[in-house]
Amino acid sequence: MRADNGRAVVDLGMAIILFLHSLLRWIILILLLAAIIKSYTGMTSGRPFSEGDRKLGLFLMISAHTTLLLGLVLWFFGQFGLALAVDNGMGAVMKNAVMRYWVVEHFVGMLIAVALITVGRGVAKKSIPDAARFRRAFWLFLVALIIILVTIPWPFRTGVGRPWL
């Protein structure tokens, strides 16, 4: 009986982590869109790089890193990710679109997107002209957004779709 209770606690914990991971996706998308718009307007208007621009990038990076950490817990200890690779072998994983998505594509895509967000945030700390800060941040954030949109398991994606929240 005790083992069942322990498994139930682990399952509940993983469900909470998955919920938080999914919820943070929306926060990241909102912050990323705001950062892209602010970077674009700063780039085109010639306005100075402000404390608000710096804080937006910081909150975006914190949200992205938190989501990444939760995703890593899910990947290493959940039913998708490492467990699929260990149970089926990488050869079988790479031949199956659904398993490949969870083991490789989602993981690598999001890792790259978080790295781009981190570099985009780092631009704010550089001693370069404000126009260059905005331009670099705009392109890094835009590419990160595209990668995120492509690698999110949207509900309409066959085989890998997840609920909206």
pLDDT at 55 over 80: yes
pLDDT at 135 over 80: yes
Among 108, 110, 88, 111, residue whose Cα is nearest residue 99: 88
- Region 59-83 average pLDDT: 95
Class of domain 2-151: mainly alpha
Q: For residue 159, with 0-12 CB atoms within 10 Å meaning exposed, 13-18 middle and 19 or more buried, which class applies?
A: exposed
User: Distance between CA 122 and CA 28 in Å, rounded?
Assistant: 17
pLDDT single digits (tens) 17-33: 999 999 999 999 999 99
How would residue 124 be classed by pLDDT, with cut points 50, 70 and 90?
confident
CA 116 to chain centre: 10
CB 33 within 8 A of CB 55: no
Ranges of each domain in the chain? 2-151
pLDDT at 2 over 90: no
